[in-house]
Amino acid sequence: MASEKVKVAIIGSGNIGTDLMFKLRRSSVLELTWMVGVVPDSDGLRRARELGYRTTHRGIDDLKDHLEDFEMAFDATTAHAHYRHAELLKQWGKIAIDLTPAAIGPYVIPVVNLDQYLDHQNVNLVTCGGQATVPMVHAVSRVVPVKYAEIVSTVASRSAGPGTRQNIDEFTETTARGLAEVGGAEEGKAIIILNPADPPIIMRNTVYVSLPKGADREAIRGSIEEMVAEVQRYVPGYHLKSPPIFDEDRVIIMLEVEGAGDYLPKYSGNLDIMTSAAVRVAEGFASHLKARKGRNERREESRA
């Protein structure tokens, strides 16, 4: 049945998990069934209960008896927790969409490489800075070879949670790897800055990409604009602050990422782009699953 939605669960009822819940309500292909937390009186679990989802505060183990309720799980907990969750989800034959820095599965940036990994069981969403900037590096590297790409993500202090703060190297190292492995640069470097200004600033990203001599600037500009439009399909608040600046042997791309303001405030574009990308990835898996199911059914019919 084409209209049947694919069922999903969220592990982690913090800010990210709760924002995901609100985004999933709008999805025409995904149906949220379970919200899994560990803090009984967390705001996320309370809201999930109010919206009529099934909840538990005893962690992922409670899902063991409800495996028919979901085909995919978003993990919005911590890297440490994901190592265990990943094992269980694998045993249960469920797809894991990992929003933590654990990165057991390959890095996925929906507009760049999602299609390559639709048969994988576990994929990772890099970092918020990676989701925002890797598409830009890829937009350049699909036109000219890129030796070096560097990004600076500036986020409001208030939207950087304890996970990010206590392990800030994870952000810079993972994002740098993403720029190279997915973005297509030979070498990547990432910098993150927290700005405590009040009212909080909207997430900013500056992307520096080195260019070879004689690079076709028009083609690069066009590729960047196309890519921005593609990202905007799932992150409407993603936009260029100014047209790309060509500065000698590099191009500077300045981005602002405004969140949708679902659960998190609009300035938290850094968190919004993660949850939006996660939904986009899950939708990609959902259509792939359905197509596969369709093919299998047709095959069985033809056998009968």
Partner 1 sequence: MSARKIWITDTTLRDGDHAMSHKYEVEQVRRIAQALDDAGVPVIEVSHGDGLGGSSMQYGFSVEEEEKYLRAAAEVIKRGRMAFLLLPGIGTRKDLERAAKIGAKVARIATHCTEADISEQHIKMAKDLGLDVHTFLMMSHMTSPEELAGQAKLMESYGADCIYVVDSAGAQLVDQARQRVRALRHALEPKTEVGFHAHNNLGLAVGNSLVAIEEGATRIDGSTCGLGAGAGNTQTEALVAVLDRMGIDTGIDLFKIMDVAEEVVYPIMRQRHVPRIDRGSLTIGYAGVYSTFLLFAQRAAEKFGVEARDILVELGKRKMVGGQEDMIIDVAVELANQAKSKPARAEARA
Which one, 67 or 252, has the nearer CB to partner 1?
252
Task: Let me know: does 35 contact 54? Beta carbons within 8 Å.
Answer: yes
Q: How far apart are CA 133 and CA 95, in angstroms?
A: 26
From 197, 219, 229, 291, residue interacting with partner 1 (rule: CB under 8 A): 197
Restricted to residues 212-231, the positions that interact with partner 1 (CB under 8 A) are: none
Only one residue has tokens 């899902």, namely 63
Restricted to residues 241-300, the positions that interact with partner 1 (CB under 8 A) are: 241-242, 245, 247, 250, 252, 254
DSSP 31-56: EEEEEE-S-TT-HHHHHHHHTT-EEE
β-strand pairing of 250-257 with 238-240: antiparallel
What is the maximum alpha-carbon separation in the chain?
Answer: 67
Assess 177 for contact with partner 1 (CB under 8 A): no
Which one, 91 or 166, has the nearer CB to partner 1?
166
From 60, 125, 192, 211, residue interacting with partner 1 (rule: CB under 8 A): 192
Assess 172 for contact with partner 1 (CB under 8 A): yes
Give the burial class of 138: count Cβ atoms within 10 A of its Cβ; 0-12 exposed, 13-18 middle, 19 or more buried.
buried
Q: Is 274 a catalytic residue?
A: no
Assess 167 for contact with partner 1 (CB under 8 A): yes
Only one residue has tokens 């994929």, namely 123
Assess 147 for contact with partner 1 (CB under 8 A): no
Task: Let me know: does 172 contact 135? Beta carbons within 8 Å.
Answer: no
Angle at 105 between CA 100 and CA 110, to 5 degrees: 80
The token duo for 190 is 């990432």
Assess 240 for contact with partner 1 (CB under 8 A): no
Q: How far apart are CA 228 and CA 239, in angstroms?
A: 7
CB of 156 to partner 1, least distance (A): 11
Which one, 194 or 289, has the nearer CB to partner 1?
194
Q: Which stretch binds partner 1 (CB under 8 A): 16-24, 152-160, 283-291, 294-302?
A: 152-160
Assess 191 for contact with partner 1 (CB under 8 A): yes
Q: Which stretch binds partner 1 (CB under 8 A): 61-69, 78-86, 170-178, 272-280?
A: 170-178
Only one residue has tokens 């982690």, namely 12
Assess 121 for contact with partner 1 (CB under 8 A): no
Give the distance, in angstroms, between the CA of residue 33 and the centroid of all CA atoms in the same chain.
Answer: 20
| Residue from 128, 149, 176, 257 carrying the catalytic annotation | 128
Q: Indicate which residues carry an active-site annotation.
A: 128
Residues that bind partner 1 (CB under 8 A): 148, 150, 152, 154, 157, 162, 165-169, 171-173, 189, 191-197, 204, 206, 208, 210, 241-242, 245, 247, 250, 252, 254
